Structure 1
């Protein structure tokens, strides 16, 4: 699909998936991850190597404070003052954190515009009690299937792209061709900008969150053409920031989530996986990344795995 406009609303209308899986659908493009495609993806496991793609949930994360903070873990019991029969001692702890503090999914209720969520569900259904439609719990069967890594930073020969650098459809095609991998229906597309590597090198949350390289608005048509099920990145918002249209914010979020019904995965760590893929030239793998089952939640922490 060649999109013919840079206007967000017109673009959204061109790529919209509303009604495709029924008028009541709340899952969007994860419907494309069929049992047949999951079974086929299992064949990509050859060596059994497992790669963690989630970042640690601790005080050293990229959140600078304000709307979102890094996770705070507190001990409620440590066993030191317990006197129980037979010497038994136990420990418990709990965590206070935004559901989108680290590696996480955006649910389809995370953003909306013009009063509507994905598939035309009412935007005012997101209240202080959570989302009555399109909550993250609707994806609880799990997001697992064929994962594909496009290493944009390596293709450009840089450690990381700069903030504000957009990745357009031509570059996505060029990287896929250079890596010898296809992106197709039901795939979980991961793209590496090096933004996680930047954070690990600099440990500067303000710089990490101030902007980012990412997908251009025109990439929506490319993703729609290929029926990609999920898009994941090592930056914090998938799309390029600052955005391409002055005076507008998070336009690709609105098109991908609200119009296309694409679940987004953000702040992932591809460093170890990218090195392994470069070493043997295999850039597809089995991806397993279920969300936590937060009823009516608009996001969820994740620790997805790439299994090769």
Structure 2
């Protein structure tokens, strides 16, 4: 019997990398440990008798830096995780057993891009701007895209272009564009599997407000069991007007962790 997926791959596919390159000093939320990479052994430090040499690396990192996914264990509300799980009791031996990142199954799913700046005729949204339900609906209509249950929905604000600028990407004084509680509620009602955005904390950050108020995290992670992916690079998808694709995403299988760095891929026919 022919394998239709293998046939499609053999026929040719294009892969668009949606992940950020991990670098020391890259912008990240102040709430998480930074990424650090060093080489304890470089070529020439130790030489074999035959002239060969090997280099090796060591990294330390928070699990919520760079492009990463939030597990359901990441956020609690009134002491409860998704499904009413007791947040304190769920942490056994310093590991979140029930909703840790190890419980996220590898994703090969229909992904869609929602691109409000393109619909609005601007290159990117200004800091602190709310992406409203109307923006989402109008963008989908203009793209000819329909959300289906089980989809991975990625929202572009254009703010991702600031990633290389460092502090500007965090939007401390300017705020960061994104959906609010209303937008999160509407998206969750569509029965989606995962959401993502090109910003540091997925949802709207008010100017000067920092990460003090994150209602979309509560709605997705605690109330609906929907994963969140942050700090995506969505510029190529937007430039090429690719609004529907196969999304491949696999978190690191870290037992009991609240999140994981990821390198999501959008795959389309060549």
Cα deviation code 1:170-218 (max 9, x no counterpart): 2211101100111111110001001111334xx1415524231111211
Aligned to 1:241: 205
Q: Distance in 1 between matches of 2:231 and 2:153?
A: 14
Change (3 A) 1:155 1:46: farther
Deviations 1:23-81 (A, max 9, x none): xxxxxxxxxxxxxxxx89x97998511111111110241127x5335421110222313
Alignment correspondent of 1:186:
150
**Map of 1:274-285 to 2, 5 A cutoff?**
274-277=238-241, 282-285=242-245
| 1:147 correspondence with 2:107 | no
Partner of residue 303 from structure 1, selected from 258, 263, 268: 263
Do 2:248 and 2:264's aligned partners in 1 also have CA atoms closer than 8 Å? yes
Query: Relative to 1, partners in 2 of residues 1:81 and 1:60: Cα closer, same or farther, differing over 3 Å?
Result: closer
Greater strand content: 2
Query: Would you say the 8 A contact 1:53–1:306 is kept in 2?
Result: yes
Query: In 1, Cα distance between the equivalents of 2:12 and 2:162?
Result: 30
Which stretch of structure 1 is more off in the superposition, 226-235 or 123-132?
A: 123-132
Q: CA deviation at 1:154?
A: 1.5
TM-score, length of structure 1 as denominator length: 0.77
Query: CA RMSD, aligned part only?
Result: 2.6
Deviations 1:218-243 (A, max 9, x none): 12332233211100100112211129
8 A Cα contact 2:188 2:220, kept in partner: no
State how far apart, in whole Å, the 2-side matches of 1:276 and 1:67 are. 34
Match of 1:133 in 2: 98
Partner of 1:165: 129
Unaligned runs of 5+ in 2: none
Q: Is the 8 A contact 1:109 1:126 kept in 2?
A: no
Match of 1:67 in 2: 31
Which contiguous aligned blocks of 4+ residues in structure 1 show a shift greater than 4 angstroms?
42-47
1:289 aligns with 2:254: no
Query: In the alignment, is the contact (CA less than 8 A) between 1:44 and 1:284 conserved in 2?
Result: no
| TM-score with structure 2 setting the length | 0.87
Contact 2:180 2:215 in 1 (8 A): no
> Out of 80, 93, 98, which is 2:44 matched to?
80
Answer yes or no: is 1:107 the counterpart of 2:67: no
Aligned 8 A contact 1:44 1:286 in 2:
no
Cα distance in 2 for residues equivalent to 1:47 and 1:170: 37
- The match for 1:49 is 14
Contact 1:289 1:304 in 2 (8 A): yes
CA distance in 1, matches of 2:180, 2:11: 34
Query: How far apart in 2 are the matches of 1:178 and 1:46?
Result: 30
- The aligned residue for residue 35 of structure 1 is none
Q: How does 1:214-225 map onto structure 2 within 5 Å?
A: 214-225=178-189
- 1:58 paired to 2:27: no
What residue ranges of structure 1 are gaps of 5+ in the alignment? 1-38
Question: 3-state SS of the aligned residue for 1:288?
Answer: strand
Q: Give 3-state SS (helix, strand or coil) of 1:87's partner.
A: coil
Q: Distance in 2 between matches of 1:258 and 1:206?
A: 29
